[in-house]
Amino acid sequence: MIIGVCGLGYTGSSAVVDFLKEFDENYVIDAMEFALAYIPDGLEDLEYHLIKSPSRYFSSDIAIRRFKNYIESRCTPCSKYKAVTNNKFKSLSHDYIESLIQVNWQGTWSFDSVGTTWWEKNFKRRLLGRIQMLSDKVLKKFVPILPEREMCLSIRPENFYELTRKYIKEILMSACCDDKKNIVLNQPFSGDNPEKSFVFFDNPSAIIVDRDPRDLYICAKKVVLSYGRFMPSDTVETFVKYYKALRINQNPINDISRVLKINFEDLIYEYDDTAKKIFEFTGLKNHTSKKRFFNPDVSKNNTQLFRKYNEFNDEIKYIEQELTEWLFPFDKYVPLTNHGKSF
């Protein structure tokens, strides 16, 4: 089984990853976010342009080109993909994408100018393009002047899903995974719609972790700082719009046997009951290292942050009014008066 632990940005998914480390039945890969499926220019984009909506306007060519560029960007000397897969990520990805290409040739088309510099657009495309047309007219034969590249075509390859699952499995096996154990991955699916990526994995399941918006807002403002700049926190109004939009966008779960939703706070304040839910969902039994990696008594200090910083009281009241349905019922529990170390 693939167990994907997914969040919505600092919502506490790492706590569940740590909890799952405590089982001998699991092999955990948490050195990186395994976001290959749903990241822009990743597998879902390939699926769209090659399978779901291929176009004669070479949409597959651009999708394949962008996927290759994304892979290249993950293969820097300090790349975690590179390290985790024992330096096999690039070669496995190259073999995978080549297996999908049905036709390739040297050529060019108008979309090649998109995203280029002024110099490239006006010199390479326009000036050299006119010289190319003049050459064609005068010489009556093709002599390459305009820069060309390898172009690719792949329209509904019959074995797309089979090859993609094989590719993912090879990546995981290159990470020395034990295929007799469950493989736990960090962020392999999108937290707002995990099921759309399930088709790329063998026997997938997802645990989605969310968090009280008040603590998330304070976390962005006072704790993670620059690491949390992917979410807006300059004003509470923009944060509320952001938080609400992501939650409203969450798709209904089609198969509840494969997707479990919990709150970060549940694993802390209702540890035994939440642990039982995870046991039943995953089938895990041998909790051999209980509280070795995740200790709710320590992680409790990552909660009720909005009570620690009184200067944000007005913003917190606004969040409580606008995001009522996502608030965790902290009032049921003893208020924290002293936030100790959280790790």
Instruction: Write down the pLDDT at residue 342.
Output: 52
Instruction: Write down the pLDDT at residue 175.
Output: 86
Cα–Cα distance measured from residue 121 to residue 145, given in angstroms and rounded to the nearest whole number? 15
Instruction: Write down the pLDDT at residue 4.
Output: 97
Instruction: Write down the pLDDT at residue 115.
Output: 65
Name the token pair of 128: 């050299």
Contact 310, 279 (CB under 8 A): no
Q: What are phi and psi of 299, to 5 degrees?
A: -65, -15
**CA-to-CA dists, residue 303 to 268, 270, 307, angstroms:** 9, 13, 9
Residues with pLDDT less than 50, the chain: 343
Question: Would you say the pTM of this structure is higher than 0.85?
Answer: yes
- Beta strands, E only, the chain: 2-6, 26-29, 103-107, 149-153, 182-186, 204-210, 259-263
**CA-to-CA dists, residue 94 to 72, 76, 108, angstroms:** 10, 15, 21
Instruction: Write down the pLDDT at residue 341.
Output: 64
Instruction: Write down the pLDDT at residue 340.
Output: 67
Contact 197, 44 (CB under 8 A): yes
Q: pLDDT, tens digit, for every residue of 51-78?
A: 998 887 678 999 999 999 999 999 888 8
Domains of the chain are: 2-99+157-332 (3.40.50), 109-147 (no CATH)
Closest CA relative to residue 285, chosen from 22, 27, 30, 28: 22
Instruction: Write down the pLDDT at residue 9.
Output: 92
